[in-house]
Amino acid sequence: MPKKQKINILWITKDLRTRDSESLYNVMQEELPFIAVYVFDSEFFAQTQFGSRKIGKYRAKFLLESVENLKQNLAKQKIPFLVKYSKTEDVLKDISEEFEVVKIFCQEEWTKEETELHTKIRSVVPAAIWEKSYSQFLVHPLFVFKTLDKIPMLFTAFRQKIEKNLLIRPEFESKDLIYNKSEIHFKSDAISLKSIGFEDFETDERTAFPFSGGENEALKRLHHYFSETQNLSQYKQTRNGLVGIDYSSKFSAWLSDGSISAVTIYHEIKKYEEEFGANDSTYWLIFELLWRDFFRYVSLQYKDLIFSKSGINHQKYFVENNKTLIQKWKDGETDSDFVNANMLELKNTGWMSNRGRQNVASYFCKILKQDWIIGAAYFEEMLIDYDVHSNYGNWMYLAGVGNDNRDRTFNPEKQAEMYDSNQEFIKLWLKQ
């Protein structure tokens, strides 16, 4: 029996980019040939929880666009790319039956479903060495845990200590590396929205997020928001907006699937400040990237407690489970026009402003007194920019079982007066 050819695998998950890709950079330094692999995991697309799918049509479409764009960008670097719709462990097993897989390069994960998948892959490719990178952070764990023994409960304490001697790594020079090793041939699947279980749909013209997935779109948006319009210089003043595409950066969807890295955004902010000047707004976008990191570090520290009803605080949390009230909340049929407008925006577009998210989550937990886990699961299905760490971190926070010792309740009517005083947003979504 002939010896199997030795290869490496670049397993792509939530790092759908060629610029500043640590795993891509590292695998390109190896002598062995490799194949890049992305799997639309059939088990994941079939899953439901608390009456919600694990992924809805809006994020699914965005993900398809992101993978297609990655395919084009990898082709420019002559990198072989396999895209499949199957169980991830089956795809890796098929490759290992034909080749001797020496190393698997991928992004490190620590939340429940991701670690379970890593375990399944280890069982089918047991001899492979794993090379994992923490490329989803702005501030690398080596820096954070040199500065902090453990992650503080409050963001302010985290931020102040981290900012004191802030060190952000340079970008990995990965996007211009050309693959010059032997070609590895595997047949990719033709994947469409329909083939992964969704009907095609038209984008609602009212959406504040009319953007497509992919690294190229992410960089185009960054260029528009920074140098083209200089909107970054007003970000702090406009970030609580509700209508239109430019009240906030809208980077979150591309960040969530790794089409752009937080490190790239940080360095582009620094270049912007050199050209156009630094102010509270340019700092505030870095502040928001640190919030994103904070929730990642919270989940890294507390692991599966972020999915527990009593949260990381082990708080007693008494709730009803009123299916009628939950459905009315989802359908935008509550007693609050402001909540309804935001929920209809989410239902029809897969997007909601940060201000809206805080209000509808607070309303769900504190006014309707429903289980925050159910609300979080609905957001997981619906949001284009769903991110496990930020989603569950924010829902815990607003339910009073997370990183907020104030346990606040938002008053949606007062919030509407402050942020939608002329009712432009409410009229946009509640007009007959």
Domains in the chain: boundaries = 5-134, 215-304, 308-430
- The alpha-helical segments, DSSP class H, found in 140-277 are 141-147, 155-164, 215-223, 235-238, 252-256, 262-276
pLDDT band for position 365 (cuts 50, 70, 90): very high
d(CA 226, CA 216): 15
Mean of pLDDT values over 146-168: 95
Residue 405: pLDDT band with limits 50, 70, 90:
low
In CATH, the architecture of 215-304 is Alpha Horseshoe (1.25)
Report the distance separating Cα 53 and Cα 124, nearest Å.
28
Residue 228 confidence (pLDDT) above 80: yes
Give, in degrees to the nearest 5, the angle at Cα 219 between 218 and 225.
90
What is the tens place of the pLDDT at every residue in 283-316?
A: 999 999 999 999 999 999 999 999 999 999 888 8
pLDDT digits (tens, 9 = 90+) for 87-113: 999 999 999 999 999 999 999 999 999
Q: What is the pLDDT of residues 233-285, one digit of tens each?
A: 999 999 999 999 999 999 999 999 999 999 999 999 999 999 999 999 999 99
Coil, helix or strand for 291? Answer: helix
Spatial distance between the Cα atoms of 113 and 220, rounded to a whole number of angstroms: 32
In angstroms, the CA 419 to CA 355 distance is 8
* pLDDT tens string 40-59: 999 999 999 998 999 999 99
Query: Residue 410's pLDDT is what?
Result: 94
Q: In CATH terms, is domain 5-134 a member of 3.40.50.620?
A: yes
Average pLDDT, the chain: 96
- Residue 4's pLDDT is 92
> What pLDDT score does 209 carry?
98
Give, rounded to a whole angstrom, the gap between the first and last alpha carbons of the chain.
72
Report how far apart, in Å, the C-alpha atoms of 126 and of each of 39, 100, 119, 284 are.
19, 11, 10, 45
Q: Would you say 22 and 48 are in contact if contact means Cβ atoms under 8 Å apart? A: no
**Tell me, which fold does domain 308-430 have in CATH?**
DNA Cyclobutane Dipyrimidine Photolyase, subunit A; domain 3 (1.10.579)
SS3 118: helix
Q: Quick one: average pLDDT of 376-405?
A: 94
- CA-wise closest residue to 253 among 85, 60, 113: 60
pLDDT tens per residue across span 315-347: 888 788 899 999 999 999 999 999 999 999 999
Q: Compute the 3-state secondary structure of the chain and give helix, strand, coil in percent, each to the nearest 5.
A: 50, 10, 40
Backbone angles phi, psi at 34, to 5 degrees: -145, 165
Residue 183's pLDDT band (cuts 50, 70, 90) = confident
- What is the C-alpha separation between 302 and 153, in angstroms, rounded? 11
- For the segment 392-396, the average pLDDT, to the nearest whole number, is 96
Q: Which of 46, 133, 38, 43 is nearest to 95 (CA)?
A: 38
pLDDT of the residue at 46: 92
Which pLDDT does position 432 carry in this prediction?
52
Query: What is the distance between the alpha carbons of residues 245 and 318, in angstroms, rounded to a whole number?
Result: 38
For residue 4, is it left (φ>0), alpha (ψ between -120 and 50) or beta?
Answer: beta
Q: Is the pLDDT of residue 1 over 70?
A: no
